[in-house]
Structure 1
Amino acid sequence: MATGNINVSVENIFPLIKKFLYSDHEIFLRELISNATDATLKLKHLTSIGESKAEYGNPFIEVKVDKEGKKIHIIDQGLGMTAEEVEKYINQVAFSGAEEFLDKYKDSAKDAGIIGHFGLGFYSAFMVADKVEIITKSHTDAPAAYWVCDGSPTFILEEADKKERGTEIILHVSEEETEFLEDSKISELLVKYNKFMPVPIKFGTKTETLPKPEGAKEEDPAPTQEVDNFINNPTPAWTKQPADLEDKDYKDFYRELYPMQFEEPLFNIHLNVDYPFNLTGILYFPKLDPSVGIQKDKIQLYQNQVFVTDNVEGIVPEFLTMLRGVIDSPDIPLNVSRSYLQADGAVKKISSYITRKVADKLSSLFKNNREDFEAKWNDIKIVIEYGMLSEDKFFDKAKNFALIPTVDNAYFTFDELKAKIEAAQTDKDGKLVVLYTSDKDAQHSYIQAAKDKGYEVALLDSPIVSHLIQKLESTYENTTFVRVDGDHIDNLIKKEDTTVSKLNDEEKEALKTTIEGVVPKETYTVQVEAMDSQASPFIITQPEFMRRMKEMQQTGGGGMAMFGNMPETYNLVVNSNHSLVEKINAAENDEAKSALIKQALDLAKLSQNLLKGEDLTNFVKRSFDLI
């Protein structure tokens, strides 16, 4: 048996780091600025505990582009390095100075905001540069050092004459990466990745308009001056305590995150926890269009104020990815390139915390200002309903504040609605029947018929309503939901039947046979019933179960594929007391009866938006012939 150490050849590993460590070459700027930020924050910590005699001052990071010389400079005023530290941190691939610093000062530096972890970020420079130089001066009295490498395992390290504390990294940009010599490209990357870095970042200058001097004419141009251009906000709202922020601060920060979003958010949720994990952030509820095609990827994930991704799947529960805002946590496990999540127990805890925090906020809004909550319901309901379907713990909290509006613009929790309709809306088996509409306009006649009978009609018009009512029915025993144009409500809801039929049973059966001979048997099941003479002569309804299964299938219901492509089947309810039925029975011949039946059926189909194509063309022609 033999044991030993695996020998990793620098000649072999360096090209891998250079070419494949990061998925996007643009990451080099994020990594180098992160290193500069760490160097600055380390110095801040050491000066605060008296371990550095340097004057911290007001340091910043500067990025310069020398297009003619094909160079990019990243300059910081941080800790700096001695020659020995360059040897240790730069020449030893994957030795993380940040990790060593946090380990050495683990008690006092836990809140220092140090970003680095893996010690590989510096080498991202070689993805865009043929040669990299480092000129660095330590905060101690040690001589400055100069390091240069051309992308091979060979380097030069010697003394330099730099007088100011800090580090300057010079990238000699390769011919293939000259896009990074454009000011617009660098500016775009700084805003994307470093917009909220905790150390000010300077990039070039900008023109600032000054007030006009006293006595200046209206047509005189205002004076201007060139000032340093700092591109980032080092203290974004989520880094502050909620007690230090007002409503205006949250709205201003929303506009900073989404400058092209003109509508104000409905409300926000400030996340701030330090145990059992560190997490800060602000989530906003925007106005949402209640459709299944909602745009996601609007929540930005940061790690110590460094942008990581706007794909927060896994950290934020699926139903909350429709929100907007920021989440920042140093405890989120990322891969070595800081580009992808590595799921573990911490991520699940964070997701559960966010779910609970959102539920608590919504509950608070409901209890403290129900009128305002009701006014915002249509803009937020899709998130809450989706959450109730996908997260059982969220459902347990949300069932107490989720609202069910009625067609008369009244709002009830489910328990409140049950109490209101319990006496009037039970079926023959004693089940509570919740009548609802999914489209007030399309189902208007059915709604009116239900209201004429004194029934309450709920308005449930979100695209996931079929899934939601399935969940509610499984949670609340002895309750069923029926769409107002579904199985005929006179058959469903228990009530004393006082309507007398004009036809006897034999005549009803004959009428049914006549109509069945005209309408397509594979599509319609004919029912002849005695109703008020003012009710429609022909009413099309759809069996609740079949209609709901089709809706769930269309919106991606789990397991619905087993039903295959379900056919369209309907009930055709014929009012035996209507005068049109008398005309059908009194028609001279079968042809006349058939024409009346077809016309009545098409009118019923028209009211349900089911009349299309050739059938619609024939109906229009037949209608003209009749008049």
Structure 2
Amino acid sequence: MAKQGNIGVTSENIFPIIKKFLYSDHEIFLRELVSNAVDATQKLKTLASVGEFKGELGDLTVHVSFDSDTIKISDRGIGMTAEEIDKYINQIAFSGAEEFVEKYKNDAAAIIGHFGLGFYSSFMVSKKVEIVTKSYKEGAVPMKWSCDGTPEYTLEETEKEDRGTDIILYIDDENKDFLNKDKISSLLTKYCRYLPVPIAFGKKQEWKDGKYVDTDEDNIINDIQPAWVRKPTDMTDEDYKKFYQELYPMSNEPLFWIHLNVDYPFHLTGILYFPRIKSNIDLHRNKIQLYSNQVFVTDSVEGIVPEFLTLLHGVLDSPDIPLNVSRSYLQS
């Protein structure tokens, strides 16, 4: 029997606020939802490492797909029970990630974001959102949650063989441009190209009979071990130069670089390159890309990083950078 209820929000106008004001750019809904899928996957790996999950992890690839009306993000992470949906989805202000990190703070190396508000970014582009989920817990009952952008939702038992979560977005008429292979691909490349769990979008293609056709192999769009998370002792000069060209195609080789791993006063990793400048014409400021646990946040770093660093190029990554806030917050 389906359960109906109202989402626990302090204002019935939460959805217009989400659509217009919570995020400055609607495109980041994909970043938030893929990050959540990675988060759920990392949680399962953590539970397995401490002996609380004894099943087979199997293939942990996160899949992104679309058709003429919907975008779907699927993972094989921890999934949710009906009680957890109530706690983490229906109570918007609650952060499941914070609670999890506190419990497993010695083992959870890369828990991304805050699930509640990040998930609700989906309503910026959707007229309806569905969650089909099955918890990793033994005997878990698969559940389906549905909401059409009002405080009302339905929650009912459903069919789902495998653990994990599918998020299905029914894209609204104003945002149909997101239902496009090139658009989705460019957003995944922008925001998710260095996430620590494989992200698949479509299949790899090969040239056959005068056209490109899909193969059976998943098209993995990300590098789960980017240069800045590797140990400097495992990196060669060529590795550093290759990563620089990856970040800045067609650029001259850098003069030299610094590989950062700082723990105090906050955790910070990254690689900063000193560019080769032949004239003032070549002087490019604000070429640093900012990440949070391998999730792209922004490349507009003026006012975020110290002025003397703005002549450098490269990547800075810190888990202390919140994903679901504006640049004005980062600057405060």
The two structures have a TM-score, normalised by structure 2, of: 0.90
Asked if the contact 1:118–1:336 (Cα under 8 Å) also holds between the matched residues in 2, the reply is no
2:226 maps to 1:236: yes
Asked if the contact 2:297–2:323 (Cα under 8 Å) also holds between the matched residues in 1, the reply is no
Q: Could you report, residue by residue, the CA deviation over 1:476-524 in whole angstroms, capped at 9, with x for unpaired residues?
A: xxxxxxxxxxxxxxxxxxxxxxxxxxxxxxxxxxxxxxxxxxxxxxxxx
Distance 2:76 2:20 in 1: 30
- Cα distance 1:140–1:237, how it changes in 2: closer, same or farther (>3 A)? same
- CA drift at 1:94: 1.9
- Cα distance 1:304–1:335, how it changes in 2: closer, same or farther (>3 A)? closer
Distance 1:78 1:274 in 2: 29
Instruction: Return the letter of the residue paired with 1:116.
Output: G
Instruction: Return the letter of the residue paired with 2:317.
Output: D
- Cα distance 1:72–1:118, how it changes in 2: closer, same or farther (>3 A)? closer
- Cα distance 1:165–1:18, how it changes in 2: closer, same or farther (>3 A)? same
User: Aligned residue for 1:298?
Assistant: 287
Instruction: Return the letter of the residue paired with 1:298.
Output: K
2:109 maps to 1:121: no
SS class of match (1:119): helix
Q: Which runs of 4+ in 1 moved over 6 A?
A: none
Over the aligned positions, Cα root-mean-square deviation in angstroms equals: 2.3
Distance 1:321 1:50 in 2: 45
Distance 2:48 2:104 in 1: 13
- CA drift at 1:339: 4.4
- CA drift at 1:280: 0.5
- CA drift at 1:335: 7.3
User: Aligned residue for 2:325?
Assistant: 337
- CA drift at 1:303: 0.4
Alignment of 1:230-379 (within 5 A): 230-261=220-251, 263-291=252-280, 294-332=283-321, 334=322, 336-337=324-325, 339-343=327-331
Asked if the contact 1:10–1:153 (Cα under 8 Å) also holds between the matched residues in 2, the reply is no
- CA drift at 1:252: 1.3
Asked if the contact 1:94–1:118 (Cα under 8 Å) also holds between the matched residues in 2, the reply is no
Asked if the contact 1:265–1:284 (Cα under 8 Å) also holds between the matched residues in 2, the reply is yes
Unaligned regions of 5+ residues in structure 1, if any?
1-6, 211-219, 345-627
Given candidates 169, 185, 189, the residue that maps to 1:191 is 189
Instruction: Return the letter of the residue paired with 2:33.
Output: L
2:145 maps to 1:157: no
Looking at secondary structure, tell me which structure has more helix per residue. Answer: 1
Higher relative contact order (CA 8 A, sep 6+): 2
Distance 1:126 1:175 in 2: 13
Distance 2:205 2:98 in 1: 41
Q: Could you report, residue by residue, the CA deviation over 1:241-291 in whole angstroms, capped at 9, with x for unpaired residues?
A: 111111111111112212233x21221110112233211100111112442
Identical amino acids, percent of aligned pairs: 61
- CA drift at 1:340: 4.5
SS class of match (2:26): coil
SS class of match (2:66): strand
Instruction: Return the letter of the residue paired with 1:256.
Output: E
Instruction: Return the letter of the residue paired with 1:151.
Output: G
Distance 1:238 1:224 in 2: 35
Alignment of 1:23-62 (within 5 A): 23-62=24-63
Q: Could you report, residue by residue, the CA deviation over 1:574-604 in whole angstroms, capped at 9, with x for unpaired residues?
A: xxxxxxxxxxxxxxxxxxxxxxxxxxxxxxx
Unaligned regions of 5+ residues in structure 2, if any?
1-7
Instruction: Return the letter of the residue paired with 1:153.
Output: P
Instruction: Return the letter of the residue paired with 2:127.
Output: D
Asked if the contact 2:203–2:214 (Cα under 8 Å) also holds between the matched residues in 1, the reply is no
- Cα distance 1:19–1:54, how it changes in 2: closer, same or farther (>3 A)? farther
User: Aligned residue for 2:4?
Assistant: none
2:10 maps to 1:20: no
SS class of match (1:80): coil
Asked if the contact 1:209–1:225 (Cα under 8 Å) also holds between the matched residues in 2, the reply is no
- Cα distance 1:293–1:99, how it changes in 2: closer, same or farther (>3 A)? same
SS class of match (2:41): helix
User: Aligned residue for 1:561?
Assistant: none
Q: Could you report, residue by residue, the CA deviation over 1:523-542 in whole angstroms, capped at 9, with x for unpaired residues?
A: xxxxxxxxxxxxxxxxxxxx
Distance 2:326 2:192 in 1: 14
Distance 1:329 1:102 in 2: 16
SS class of match (1:342): helix
Asked if the contact 2:88–2:115 (Cα under 8 Å) also holds between the matched residues in 1, the reply is no
Asked if the contact 1:308–1:339 (Cα under 8 Å) also holds between the matched residues in 2, the reply is no
SS class of match (1:196): coil
Q: Could you report, residue by residue, the CA deviation over 1:54-81 in whole angstroms, capped at 9, with x for unpaired residues?
A: 32233011110102xx100000111111
Asked if the contact 2:15–2:123 (Cα under 8 Å) also holds between the matched residues in 1, the reply is no
Distance 1:238 1:174 in 2: 38
Distance 1:73 1:224 in 2: 22
Distance 2:158 2:219 in 1: 29
- Cα distance 1:335–1:98, how it changes in 2: closer, same or farther (>3 A)? closer
- CA drift at 1:296: 1.8
Looking at secondary structure, tell me which structure has more strand per residue. Answer: 2
Asked if the contact 1:98–1:114 (Cα under 8 Å) also holds between the matched residues in 2, the reply is yes
Distance 1:151 1:8 in 2: 13
